[in-house]
Amino acid sequence: MELTTVWFCLIAVLWIGYFVLEGFDFGVGMLLPMLARDDRERRVMINTIGPVWDGNEVWLLTAIGATFAAFPEWYATLISGFYVPVFLILIALIVRGVAFEYRHQRPSVTWAGWWDRAVIFGSYVPAFLWGVAFANIVRGVPIDADFEFTGTVLTLLNPYGLLGGLVTLSLFVTHGALFIALKTDGEIRGRARALALRLGVVAAVLGVVFMFWTQALTGNLGTAVLFVVAAPALVGGLGAAYVGREGVAFTGTFLAIGLVVAGIFVGLFPDVMPSSTDLANSLTTTNAAASPYTLKLMTIVAAVFAPIVVGYQAWTYWIFRKRISIHHIPAAH
């Protein structure tokens, strides 16, 4: 297998890891105003992701860094063409990260309320815009012979792109509700499970429409197979939530999100960014790749450090695996 193909697959794995892990903590942030009845319950929800949210973002940083190093032409066209949504995502992630760290610095209810709004904003924006961005990559965007994006922000706000945003948002919020049900106890656990069922129905409907539309665009058999498996994974997860098996339910949404993202990358290959202007202008794993020496060096580095990072993150999840509830949260002074 050529190293360009290897790195395309590795970048796909990084994005899959990012969406299935960061997806649930986006969901937790979006659900703050829906599930929590008071400040102690909001603190419970935030504490479920407190030890892991920043580790989840490592997958994004690694995916973007790997794209820059392995496929610099793809990185340049993507970041310049999608500058506005990427900038908004970056601002949202910064605001969200600051909110987690600053929320508890003062006992004021007003202070905490504003940082809660920052968490909500910082969760909704990337949850929606990542779907818009990836849907447009699959659909194709206007790229000229110099591999430069020639469209505008409005080019990205097409029906398929907006549907992609709604799909990721609905899947992430369902994923987050099931994570809360898995990680908490008491009343909030029951409310999260019930809400996950209602949200999951919406996510399933939007997901089916998106999968059929994507299959019509790509016509890829591998994509079709992955999508066919993703649908029962989501439905099975909702069924497990209905009977109170939160672990199985969370696994179902975990697999569904991962399979959908995998299907998108399978449908793209060997392109990394199709051109809607002229297929000859499309960026591929060949014309967007770095030099063979760079790819060889990156492969050695990845082989050494990737298992360490994955192992450390798995250890973190194991250490913080227990449920929490409001009796773990001291009353405010």
pLDDT digits (tens, 9 = 90+) for 208-260: 999 999 988 888 888 999 999 999 999 999 999 999 899 999 999 999 999 99
CA distance 333 to 324: 21
What average pLDDT does the segment 29-50 reach? 89
What per-residue confidence (pLDDT) applies to 219? 85
Backbone angles phi, psi at 323, to 5 degrees: -75, 155
Side chain identity, residue 172: F
Domain span including residue 283 = 3-204+269-310+319-327
Tally of structural domains, the chain: 1
Within-domain flag for 253: no
Within-domain flag for 214: no
CA distance 79 to 83: 5
Provide the mean pLDDT of the chain. 91
What average pLDDT does the segment 107-131 reach? 92
pLDDT band at 1 (very low <50, low <70, confident <90, very high): low
What per-residue confidence (pLDDT) applies to 305? 87
Within-domain flag for 193: yes
Within-domain flag for 9: yes
Within-domain flag for 226: no
Within-domain flag for 59: yes
Q: Contact, 271 vs 284, CB < 8 A?
A: yes
pLDDT band at 112 (very low <50, low <70, confident <90, very high): confident
- Whether the bond between 270 and the residue before it is cis, its omega within 30 degrees of 0, is yes
182: nearest Cα among 28, 276, 323: 323
Side chain identity, residue 58: V
Q: Using a pLDDT cut of 70, give the percent of the chain over it.
A: 98
Q: Contact, 71 vs 7, CB < 8 A?
A: yes
Chain centre distance of CA 39 = 27
Within-domain flag for 154: yes
What per-residue confidence (pLDDT) applies to 110? 86
Within-domain flag for 291: yes
pLDDT band at 332 (very low <50, low <70, confident <90, very high): low
Global confidence as pTM = 0.94
CA distance 33 to 173: 12
What per-residue confidence (pLDDT) applies to 327? 67
CA distance 294 to 69: 8
**Tokens encoding 277:** 């202007």
